[in-house]
Structure 1
Amino acid sequence: MDAIEDGDHVCLTYSDPDERLDLIADFVAAGLDRGHKVLCFTDSISPEKLTEELSWRGLAVARATATGQLAIAEGGRLWFANGSTSATDTLDTLTAEIALAREQGYDGLRVTADMWWATQPVAAVQELLAFESRAADLSTDGRLTAICQYDRDGFDPVTLAFAAEAHAKTVAAVAYHDDALLRICRQHRPPGIRIAGELDYTRLEPLQQALSEALRLDDDIHVNLGKLRFIDITAATVIAKAALSLPTDRHMIISCGGSVTETLRLVGADEAGQLRVQAAR
């Protein structure tokens, strides 16, 4: 995400919806910080739900929407503005939004576009392909920075390959380990790591790598274990020791539930001053 520059047309592919939301929150936050107008078009979840998710990740959504700097809307406003899918109409809508942002005094326009609409029976996939082929032309002067979001489970490999080729850059969450039983990846908002599946002593190396990078990059570290089904004593001890290595003015916040919480308590995690254990969302 740090490599995204003004004027980039970016493809985001994802499998985990939470990872997508982390990355989008980071993109939106950067736009707000840079004084850009930000538009979020959503289909896979409602505008209300996206508002809630961005707020939970630390964005001042209410303030930004009140000033008009941020707008969150259903994707139909972009893709079906005139009742049917048209690449030309969609590009015209974005061209008008770029001009409006400039008139309103913003330094640029950032757009996040959820492409889930293109998986529906009413969608004209050829119009999606036409749009992606021509969208980069709107970004040549740096006024538009856009992320198009593709769910790997919703699109066929051919469409995903085309989408990646049509964009100048692609982004995805950094994964330290990813197999059928365990995924350890970077979490952008709030900053830290996300672990899902089953974690035991055989996967200590990627766990330590992820923790070390979070310790280096982040002030307070968030360890999201909400989708972790099992953790053994050895792995729990590694996490607790990482928290204890923090100076007293920094903290590790672990979100978890069920048996994972109990295992962390067994290794004394709740007694470490730098570590806070809270219920997962």
Structure 2
Amino acid sequence: MGGLAGEAQHPGTLPVQQMGAGDHAFLCYDGDAPGWDVLAAFVWAGLVRGEKVIVLGPPHLSEADVRARLQEAPGLAAASGYERTQLELSSMRELILPQRRFTADRQWRRITEEAEAARAAGYSGLRTCIDMGWVADLGAGLDVMMDRERRAGHLFADGFYSEICAYDRRRFPGPVLEAMCRAHPRNLLPRLGQLRCLYGNGTLRVIGEADLATAPRFAEALSALFRNSGASGPVTVDLRRTGFLSAECAAELVRRIARSAPERPVRVRCSAGHALLLRRLGVDPAGLEVTG
């Protein structure tokens, strides 16, 4: 799948597992249906956390089709023990009823009503997956959709509501996708298990899963960082958006740090769990910047 130019340096790029409460995320996909593994991870995480979850799937798929795709998504077990009413499969047409014409104000009111109902029912939050195929299905203008996306920030202000907007790249012009990628605070990796490495100013940001499958990519990125950052000056490896960090990948990072010249400090920004692994492999705690 070809990437968007704006994705390469989007400051909010992350794997879906790291989406937080109140996040508004962009997902771009190819094919006849969204990245079901990503959406399923979002759905099941919400159910486990006791949130109300609403999925507005691709308009051409039935409710049974959407449910089957979510349950069959590879790599994840469906949440167990949730009430049937906790997961709602719907459509934008149903959401805006009794109106038939989409307006941002109508959609915002309905989402606010759903959030209030979720609070009253005792849910810990409300999250929605919205396939943007509704734009063509309802005959809405692209300008109307883009205006909604750009001005929807108030929905997320208190952290109760979170949302994925999934765009089929075949159905939207490239400039629109680029603009919508920039308009969303979060930009999701399109598949589970992916690794994206971003460079800039002596810093390597590692986003996604650094595991056995992606270890060669991780090692290549570290090599490029140290090779392209000059012979001196500080180097930073940012693991704050790294999900799983395998022992193999952690050991490769430790080896790179050990081979670095003393006058060239290496700082690793990471979670407490990753810091524990790195310390056990011999990294000096003074070089770790632990967050979260």
| TM-score category, normalised to shorter length | 0.5 to 0.7
Deviations 1:33-63, CA, capped at 9 Å, x for gaps: 11111000112422211101112233248x6
SS in 1 for 2:35: helix
Deviations 1:207-241, CA, capped at 9 Å, x for gaps: x99xxx98949xxxxxxxxxxxxxxxxxxxxxxxx
Give me the whole-angstrom Cα distance separating, in 2, the residues matched to 1:152 and 1:29.
Answer: 25
Q: Does 1:59 align with 2:87?
A: no
Note the 1:76-225 alignment, pairs <5 A.
Answer: 76-78=93-95, 81-120=98-137, 122-173=139-190, 175=194, 216=246
Q: TM-score normalised to the size of structure 2?
A: 0.57
Name the one with the larger strand percent.
1
Q: 1:65 to 1:115 in 2, by over 3 A?
A: farther
Q: 1:98 to 1:176 in 2, by over 3 A?
A: closer
Deviations 1:99-134, CA, capped at 9 Å, x for gaps: 000000011101110101213472222221121122
Give me the whole-angstrom Cα distance separating, in 1, the residues matched to 2:122 and 2:91.
Answer: 25
Return the match for 1:35 from 50, 55, 61.
50
SS in 2 for 1:2: helix
Deviations 1:135-158, CA, capped at 9 Å, x for gaps: 221101001011000111211012
Q: Which has the higher contact order (CA 8 A, sep 6+)?
A: 2
Return the match for 2:62 from 46, 53, 67.
46
Q: Which amino acid aligns with 1:126?
A: D
Give me the whole-angstrom Cα distance separating, in 1, the residues matched to 2:98 and 2:79.
Answer: 28
Contact 1:44 1:114 in 2 (8 A): no
| Deviating more after overlay: 102-111 vs 13-22 | 13-22
Q: Which amino acid aligns with 1:141?
A: D
Unaligned runs of 5+ in 1: 178-186, 194-203, 218-281
Structure 1: 4+ residue segments shifted above 6 A: none
Give me the whole-angstrom Cα distance separating, in 2, the residues matched to 1:92 and 1:172.
Answer: 30
Note the 1:18-33 alignment, pairs <5 A.
Answer: 20-33=35-48
Cα RMSD after superposing both structures: 3.4
Give aligned-pair identity as a percent.
28
Give me the whole-angstrom Cα distance separating, in 1, the residues matched to 2:170 and 2:187.
Answer: 17
Contact 2:29 2:167 in 1 (8 A): yes
Report what 1:273 is aligned to: none
Give me the whole-angstrom Cα distance separating, in 2, the residues matched to 1:127 and 1:80.
Answer: 18
Report what 1:233 is aligned to: none
Unaligned runs of 5+ in 2: 1-15, 197-207, 221-242, 248-292
- Number of residue-to-residue matches in the alignment: 193
SS in 1 for 2:17: coil
